[in-house]
Structure 1
Amino acid sequence: MQIALLQTQADPVTPGPAGLTSLEGAAREAAARGARLLVTPELSLTGYALEDPALLAEPADGPSAAAVSRIARQYGIAVAYGYPERGEGCAVHNSVQLMGPDGAALANYRKTHLYGPYEAKHYTPGEQLPVQAELDGVRLGLLICYDVEFPEAVRAHALAGTDVLLVPTALMRPYDTVAETLVVARAVESQLYVAYANRAGREGEFDFAGLSCLAAPDGTVPARAPGSGGTLLVADADLAALRASRDRNPYLADRRPELYAR
């Protein structure tokens, strides 16, 4: 499966609902380059540094979802996009939704591990893990940024059969080691691909690290973005290579969960 990763240049002045224009351009280019799936950063439709995310929050089937559905259908490409979701009651969730290439909503995931006081103040954590969808016979899983830093969350996906883990992210400096080392380790230890799409540059008080990547289960990195600037990566998640790697590295089969509970 050819996967496109959009690394966006953060807007230092005017975060807000301008992400659809960037997303449509990326979908057009990704489809032209042969990608079947586009992964965009955390909160890609609005920007991350929002004074009050509740003001831009929408339900999962709101106007932005309709717009992304049209884009996906027009270019024949699945799209994973981040947005503030209006949930039950007054809850606002940091969410990612996956639209299929036919425009159908395939899955919606609410970030389960919130990072820092900013997110704790504005968002309600999700309670469902793992969230998955099927595309072209490939089982896709969804996490968001800080979630991937918890081995339990990624292992839950591995045990549920996820082949490619999509991780829209807003990784900040000075935590570059997460993108450079930890994401690759997660791919190896749980034997899956990790598609990690970040933003780059300063937005409000946050300085984002870039370094978007596709990490493979054999420890290689088929695609890596620089630490600054916007770019669109396209790389192959090779399912034959995934099966071969799982045969060579039977971590899941060799687990002894009866010991870990102690």
Structure 2
Amino acid sequence: MSSPSALPLRVAALPFASACAAREKPPFAAIAERLNELAREHVSLAVFPEMSLVGAARMERLRRTELEALSEPLDGPSIAAVSRAVEMSGVAAGVGWIERANDGALYNSYVVCMPDGARHVHRKLYPMESPHLRSGALFDVFDTPWGIKMSILIGADNYMPENARVAALKGATLLVAPHRSSVGPGVSLRPDWLARSIPARAGENGMFAVLCDARAEPRGACKPGEAMIADPCGVVIARGEHPERPMATASIDPELARHSEARRWLTARRPELYASLIASEAKEGGDARPWAQPEREVRARGSVAVSFAVVGRKRPIR
């Protein structure tokens, strides 16, 4: 097996909801098969969707006890199995799962497992899918063997431009953006909105960006979503040909990010002009205070019969 540093960084976005699509085998087994295939195509990094190790399609319908039953610690059997597959194939892999922390808290987390055994974890900052999930408080930026700094933003973390900007200011030149769309009544997010915003984040911050989305539909069904890779100019350089070939692959040159126009302008920022963007002081020990989840829109279930009458009285004309 070749060392990852000896190979160019070739990235693949695989928008497969493996846990839903492969019910006859554990999701990490399906991921292992994909990694072996990608190794033959000289792919260095495989990006799977948000919650790719979780079998439940709609998180908002699950009680806390159900989420706890699906959760695992970072050193649990599923992540261990993915790490073994990564070491054997030589292909780094990013996968999502429900993390159970040492204090019992539950997080929507994503880990990038490296062939050398390293594991880089990000906890979702905006876990909108369930009130039982705690919000993360750190922007994680880490070095890779390919000479590029990587950051992870999960799902709704990508909806706010400030998050990608913070990652860029911390040195990230590759943004991994795993996502899981919900399809059904009451869902307002349009898939094309996210597909347009991710290249914009790449162009604004002089970074590569990889979007990998799975679509969670009613009754537990999952389908491949959008897969794309954008360059530091905001140009989409690879896109899945859904549904025939939903996977997107591209080679990434770190120098393009370092010498991009946006990266040059990041050094010319005037932070003193942006004081109005700071709502509160950052919590000690983290990048952000705990997130207060916004109230969900209340929708009536079923129908209620309502009857009323308007009674008018004619007044005599004088």
Alignment pair present for 1:167 and 2:167: no
Instruction: Tell me how large the CA RMSD over aligned residues is.
Output: 2.6
Q: Choose which of 80, 85, 89 in structure 2 pairs with 1:71.
A: 85
Q: Choose which of 243, 251, 254 in structure 1 pairs with 2:258.
A: 243
Match of 1:100 in 2: 114
Q: Which residue identity is paired with 1:237?
A: I
Aligned residues: 257
> With structure 2 as the length reference, what TM-score do the two structures score?
0.73
CA distance in 2, matches of 1:177, 1:231: 15
CA contact (8 A) 2:10 2:42 kept: yes
Cα separation, partners in 2 of 1:177 and 1:84, compared to 1, 3 Å: same
- Structure 1 residue 202 displacement after superposition: 2.5
Cα separation, partners in 2 of 1:228 and 1:107, compared to 1, 3 Å: same
Match of 1:138 in 2: 148
CA contact (8 A) 2:94 2:111 kept: yes
- Structure 1 residue 201 displacement after superposition: 6.1
Unaligned runs of 5+ in 2: 1-8, 184-188, 277-318
- Structure 1 residue 220 displacement after superposition: 1.0
Cα separation, partners in 2 of 1:27 and 1:14, compared to 1, 3 Å: closer
Cα separation, partners in 2 of 1:206 and 1:245, compared to 1, 3 Å: farther
Structure with more contact order per residue of length (Cα contacts < 8 Å, sep ≥ 6): 1
CA distance in 1, matches of 2:219, 2:145: 36
Alignment pair present for 1:6 and 2:14: yes
Cα separation, partners in 2 of 1:205 and 1:64, compared to 1, 3 Å: closer
Cα separation, partners in 2 of 1:190 and 1:125, compared to 1, 3 Å: same
Alignment pair present for 1:198 and 2:213: yes
CA contact (8 A) 1:5 1:232 kept: yes
Cα separation, partners in 2 of 1:124 and 1:46, compared to 1, 3 Å: same
Q: Choose which of 1, 20, 23 in structure 1 pairs with 2:28.
A: 20
Cα separation, partners in 2 of 1:140 and 1:55, compared to 1, 3 Å: same
Q: Choose which of 231, 254, 269 in structure 2 pairs with 1:216.
A: 231
Q: Deviations over 1:160-192 (max 9, x none)?
A: 110111111113455223332100100011110
Q: Secondary structure at the match of 2:236?
A: coil
- Structure 1 residue 208 displacement after superposition: 6.5
Q: Deviations over 1:45-85 (max 9, x none)?
A: 11442532211111111111210111001100111110110
Q: Which has the higher strand share?
A: 1
CA contact (8 A) 1:200 1:230 kept: no
The aligned runs of 1:27-106 (5 Å cut-off) are 27-47=35-55, 48-50=57-59, 51=62, 52-102=66-116, 104-106=117-119
Q: Secondary structure at the match of 2:264?
A: coil
Q: Secondary structure at the match of 2:83?
A: helix
The structure that has the greater radius of gyration is 2
- Structure 1 residue 16 displacement after superposition: 10
Q: Which residue identity is paired with 1:177?
A: D
CA contact (8 A) 1:91 1:123 kept: yes
Q: Secondary structure at the match of 1:140?
A: strand
CA distance in 1, matches of 2:20, 2:90: 32
Alignment pair present for 1:111 and 2:121: no
Cα separation, partners in 2 of 1:225 and 1:232, compared to 1, 3 Å: closer
Cα separation, partners in 2 of 1:207 and 1:45, compared to 1, 3 Å: closer
Q: Which residue identity is paired with 2:104?
A: C
CA contact (8 A) 1:12 1:204 kept: no
CA distance in 2, matches of 1:144, 1:53: 18
CA distance in 2, matches of 1:229, 1:54: 36
Cα separation, partners in 2 of 1:133 and 1:60, compared to 1, 3 Å: farther
Alignment pair present for 1:180 and 2:188: no
Match of 2:139 in 1: 129
Q: Which residue identity is paired with 1:162?
A: A
Q: Which residue identity is paired with 2:271?
A: P
CA distance in 1, matches of 2:136, 2:113: 19
CA distance in 1, matches of 2:92, 2:20: 29
